[in-house]
Structure 1
């Protein structure tokens, strides 16, 4: 489980074709490297991945993951910075909703605007059956980052992103047309799925 509160980022060291998928080697901070163990989970841009290996190579602190999807590997290729969050531990304070690290889909960045003080306003388009269950002030994760919906349009969501979040994450680096992994509150998702089943029955 994850909170969407990003404290660290990492960057790609290598992506290698491995069988029907890809090995992703990520360079992380020495602190994160020391804190995590093989087979523990990390949210990487909002996707829960299992650490398969650890290695120190010179000045690089490397964690190994496996990507089973060529689509995800293609999205990761070329990104400069990745949002990282280790799974929560018993006894930690939890200030908001919990997320599984399983995206509800992908949304597309359609506009961005600089705000005073270094923040940004972004608008993302999301064609999904879950869209109708969202409302202003609901919380979602974009690439693993917890955000509050500022406004909504017919098929798009708008967010104001604070300067601290811009600096700590990769949200400010995305170009128009790029995609974010989006995850909605798991409780909202479950209610939407129950209602959809009732409509079909």
Structure 2
């Protein structure tokens, strides 16, 4: 589990195709790997990946064909920035919301508008996910816990404050970019209970 509070921005150091799968080596940037062990989970752009090797400030993850096809990780290139968060410990603060690291779908940045020092962002997402998005509810975009300002049949809007723009990959994003979307866990479970 994760919180959606990004701890560092890392970069893809290398990418190796392995049949239909891939192996990524990630430069952890400012993320402290001192307490990370083989088998631990780290969210990369909102996708929970397993650490299979650690070498100084770099760590390695294997990515299945399923994950490559259902997330933005399949399009990552060497040098691309990625939001990073180590898995939540039971004693940690929950500053964002509960995030599983299991991406529900890929969305698109539809529009970015200045709003004072902040920015208002509009995203498009698959229609089948829109029913899980509620105004003032939580949503996870590229691993970042955000509060929904607007919700529609095929998208939603959020406000990004200057800190979020500076501390995540959002500062480098543009309209048309694709993003990983994870809807709120509570919304998914509530639907299942009522089915």
Instruction: Tell whether the 8 Å contact from 1:130 to 1:189 is kept in structure 2 after alignment.
Output: no
- SS class of match (1:187): helix
Does the 8 A contact of 1:22 with 1:73 survive in 2?
no
Q: Aligned equivalents of 2:79 and 2:112: distance in 1? A: 18
Q: Secondary structure at the match of 1:172?
A: helix
TM-aligned CA deviation for residue 30 of structure 1: 6.1
SS of equivalent to 1:5: coil
Offset of residue 149 of structure 1: 0.4
TM-score normalised over the length of structure 1: 0.87
In the alignment, is the contact (CA less than 8 A) between 1:130 and 1:192 conserved in 2?
no
Residues 83-103 of structure 1 deviation map (CA, whole Å, 9 limit, x = unaligned): 101001122222443111001
- Local SS of the residue matching 1:35: coil
Return closer, same or farther for 1:8/1:136 CA change in 2, 3 Å cut-off. same
Aligned partner of 1:164 in structure 2 is 163
1:68-88 Cα distance to aligned partner (Å, 9 max, x none):
134444322266311101001
Q: Partner of 2:171: helix, strand, or coil? A: helix
| Paired residues of 2:108 and 2:124 also in contact (CA < 8 A) | yes
Find the aligned partners of 1:175 and 1:95 in 2 and give their Cα distance: 26
Assess, with a 3 A threshold, how the Cα gap between structure 1 residues 74 and 130 changes in structure 2: closer, same or farther.
Answer: closer
Within 5 Å, give how 1:101-116 maps onto structure 2: 101-116=101-116
Q: Does 1:66 align with 2:65?
A: no
Which TM-score applies when normalising by structure 2?
0.89
Deviates more, 1:20-29 or 1:71-80: 71-80
Partner of 1:23: 23
1:8 to partner: Cα distance: 0.9
Change (3 A) 1:14 1:7: same
**Secondary structure of 2:4's aligned partner:** coil
Distance 1:17 1:133 in 2: 34
Distance in structure 2 (CA, Å) of the matches to 1:121 and 1:94: 24
Cα distance, 1:120 vs. partner? 1.7
Instruction: Tell me how many residue pairs correspond in the alignment.
Output: 191
Larger Rg: 1
Other-structure match for 1:89: 89
- For structure 2, list consecutive stretches of 5 or more residues without a partner in the other structure: none
What is residue 132 of structure 2 aligned with on the other side? 133
Tell me the residue number matched to 1:150: 149
Distance in structure 2 (CA, Å) of the matches to 1:80 and 1:29: 12
Secondary structure of 1:33's counterpart equals coil
